Amino acid sequence: MKHLYLLSFFILIFALSAFLSADYPNLLGLENDDKYLSKAENLVNQILTETALEVESLDKIKVSGEMVSMPGGIVKTMGLSFNSYEKLSKEEIRKKTVQLAEKLLQNINSNKEIPPFLAKSPFTINEIEISIYNHDQQGNWPYDPEIGNAHFNRGKITYSTYDPDKKFGNKNEFVESYEEALLIVQNGSQSQKEKAD
């Protein structure tokens, strides 16, 4: 009886390994050559997947979603959202947002096949979208005055704080231009508004 269970176990393992070895890339979403998608959609998936894997391998943040606007097959915007589990300060979340936006922009503009499908070629920082949802190591949201979310869209970063007494919505929002954020990151200083506070 013991040998029968052992034999059944090995047959199951063999069958699963044969299945997974053939379909493993599809299960992880790494296979980007879907025959039902257009060439533009496959290229967008490829760029976003490569960027996500690259960022996750270098950083302690995890990809939580993709953002794409491509009406009629023409790509207007591309973006990624991330979850951080190390409770970032405003300076850290600003720096990561700028770095992630630059990395995605670089990956889009270095792809030789995507330009015919872009609304604007080369893409600019204004066509990039990045969100970082800030958590502590246990997955809890930080509350005001700490930053709960940074969202980069249309050349501006919006930092949101959460109120522990409100289930939905933000307590405060602070907006700065990409240029101001980039300057702060490059100079390692605070914004004029932060200095005043």
Lowest mean pLDDT among 9-13, 37-41, 45-49, 143-147: 9-13
The DSSP secondary-structure symbol of 126 reads G
Using an 8 Å Cβ cutoff, are 87 and 137 in contact?
yes
pTM for the model: 0.74
Q: What share of the chain in percent tops pLDDT 90? A: 32
Q: What is the pLDDT of residues 97-121, one digit of tens each?
A: 999 999 999 999 999 999 999 999 8
- pLDDT exceeds 50 at position 146: yes
Tokens of 164: 């522990």
- Checking if the pLDDT of 19 tops 60, the result is no
The partner residues of 82 in beta bridges, in order of sequence, read: 63, 132
The secondary structure element, H or E, covering residue 63 is: strand 61-69
Cα within 13 Å of Cα(83), Cβ side: 12
